[in-house]
Chains A and B, each alone.
Chain A
């Protein structure tokens, strides 16, 4: 357990697994763990959906992966390297390979749509160039192409705060894709959207992940929506993983154990 590189695949010389989590614990206040001993392997493709009641640590788990939340103990191995132990620069370099989509979109509202997309390149562009808005032309071309791909080609120069929720989340996804990520995380990406838009957003993420050939981890509170798109479902309850398997095998009994018993089904 104390081995620095505990990923058996890495030991065999295969390309390391995109993500392996070992014994991850997190408590915000001492003695009240939010995550307890999480072990999780993510293969190089696939759409993984995390479900579970609110406050069970789904969001914390996602944020521990790119260390937006500092784990208390355990390992987060991204392509074989432990994120938890990284220094600042290495962490920064790792973060740019992990795209993230947020519930509240988290766009910089007063910037234009295209500049929000280019913000996805901030990890690669020097601060000086970012300040003077001298992004490499290849990034700019990529941003425009991507903007058309998510169906917002006409809105490039609009300010982000003039967009609707669905449009903003498309920008959010495009910004994450701009990073050329090797892993896509999404923290409740559809919670602020209406049902139809939610489906569109999920489809967009599936398509993008398919094109980039990368895995996606989404946490979501809408079980039906999650099941519809998932290749794999992870059920969490009270900071632990209580179900891990294909969506088809997820029974009402499982859901009861995740969300607690009751007549809500």
Chain B
């Protein structure tokens, strides 16, 4: 390959130097895909077999059955309430925790412990947290609210701490120079710089909470998710379709509303 045919004196110039590392990388990726597929028992046959079921399944989903709309509405409203309360509490808690986690505001040990708390909150999917709270405080909306508060703290407090760490210290110094108290330094020196971003994170988290509040019911933590799971277990697929469509509609509506709310405060 390296020598030209014929005289073979002149080496062929290669436009693209061969990157063996990259080739090895691709081979490794391909090998991994094959290995992982076989380990997970993912196979073409199963896929094809499933597609037959899938058709049957889809046909049982149409037309969506809205006859139990009362149950549906109750669940949706409870999900909304969970999202609203959890967001409010989460935002209120995130403010102090975020401050404590900001390394430019707090001594090292305080910020590190606050960061550890945030990391724990972030690492677990809200549904896993919900399942723990269900075991702790029983079935119902309370467990869902607590789970989503944890998720909110994990998200908002982290970004809030980062925002506080990025602020200009000059303004803080200026306020401090007037002899203001610590609380006043925060209110006049720090908050104005981070408030709009804080509102941004919060509306984003409201969206995310709304999505998850429709799910925590799967493990018994209140909201439409419980109704959905029950419908699945009873093979009421036309009701499942109705619930899914309603959830999607609510989530899109929520995204639209929170997007506009965000713009109002920008």
Is B one of A's binding partners? yes
Chain A interface (Cβ < 8 Å from any Cβ of B) = 112, 114-115, 118, 133, 135, 137, 140-141, 143-144, 156-157
- Inter-chain CA distance A244–B14, complex, in Å, is 47
17 A-B Cβ contacts within 8 A? A112-B15, A112-B16, A114-B15, A115-B15, A118-B15, A133-B15, A133-B16, A135-B15, A137-B4, A140-B13, A140-B14, A140-B15, A141-B12, A143-B15, A144-B13, A144-B15, A156-B15
Chain A proximity mask over B53-71: 1 for CB below 8 Å, otherwise 0: 0000000000000000000
Residues of B within 8 A of A112 (CB): 15-16
Decide if B52 is an interface residue (CB 8 Å cutoff): no
Nearest to A156 among chain B residues (CB) is B15
Determine how close the nearest CB of chain B comes to the CB of A107; give it in whole angstroms.
Answer: 15
Contacts of B17 in A (CB 8 A): 157
Binding site for A on B (CB under 8 A): 4, 12-17
Closest-CB distance, A252 to chain B (whole angstroms): 51
Q: By DSSP majority rule, is chain B's interface helix, strand, loop, or mixed?
A: loop
In the bound complex, how far is the Cα of B17 from the Cα of A133, in angstroms? 11
* A264-B143 Cα distance, complex, nearest whole Å: 79
Once bound together, how far apart are the Cα atoms of A182 and B137, in whole Å?
A: 81
| Interface contact A115-B12, CB-CB below 8 Å | no
Residue of B nearest to A135 (CB): B15
What is the CA–CA distance of A144 and B10 in the complex, to the nearest angstrom? 14
Given A118-B15, A141-B12, A156-B15, 12 other A-B contacts at CB below 8 A? Answer: A114-B15, A115-B15, A115-B16, A133-B15, A137-B12, A140-B12, A140-B13, A140-B15, A141-B13, A143-B15, A144-B13, A157-B17
Smallest distance from the beta carbon of A183 to chain B beta carbons, Å?
27
Complex Cα spacing A157 to B16, Å: 8
Q: Measured between alpha carbons, how far is A143 from B16 in the docked complex, in Å? A: 12
Inter-chain contacts of A144 with B (CB < 8 A): 13, 15
Cβ contacts under 8 Å, B13 to chain A: 140-141, 144
Bound complex: CA of A166 vs CA of B15, how far in Å?
22
Closest chain A residue to B16, Cβ basis: A133
